[in-house]
Amino acid sequence: MAFDSPRQMYPVNEKCAGCGVAITELPFQPTAGRPVYCTDCNRQYRDRRRGGGGGGGGMSRGPRQMYAVDLQCAGCGTAITELPFQPTGDRPVYCRTCLAAKRGSAMAA
């Protein structure tokens, strides 16, 4: 059907916390005490979060935060000194090789 129902908008009387522009409607009910942003500021905020460092193309994977650990791979026993996530302690940790192998076999299954 060609009828695209518009998103429900809530009439508000707010000001963008970023640029101060008047906002008369929002696609959600504003929470009191919470800053509201206009479409432009929202987009800028989102772009910034996506890691726009301002640079031409070549968006290589930035250095991920690594956590220093002192663990052993539950698969092959290799020493693991850093992880891209904080280990929970109750879960086995695998080295990259074992992870790749696990992923490969899972996909083949």
Least Å distance, CB 61 to Zn ion, is 22
In the block, residue with structure tokens 């429900």: 8
Closer to Zn ion by Cβ: residue 59 or 67: 67
Shortest Å distance, C-beta 39 to Zn ion? 8
d(CA 64, CA 87): 15
Q: List residues near Zn ion by CB under 5 A.
A: 16, 18-19, 38, 41, 73, 75-76, 78, 95, 98
* Nearest in space to 19 (alpha carbons), one of 1, 45, 2, 40: 40
For the bound state, the minimum distance from the C-beta of residue 38 to Zn ion, rounded and expressed in Å, comes to 3
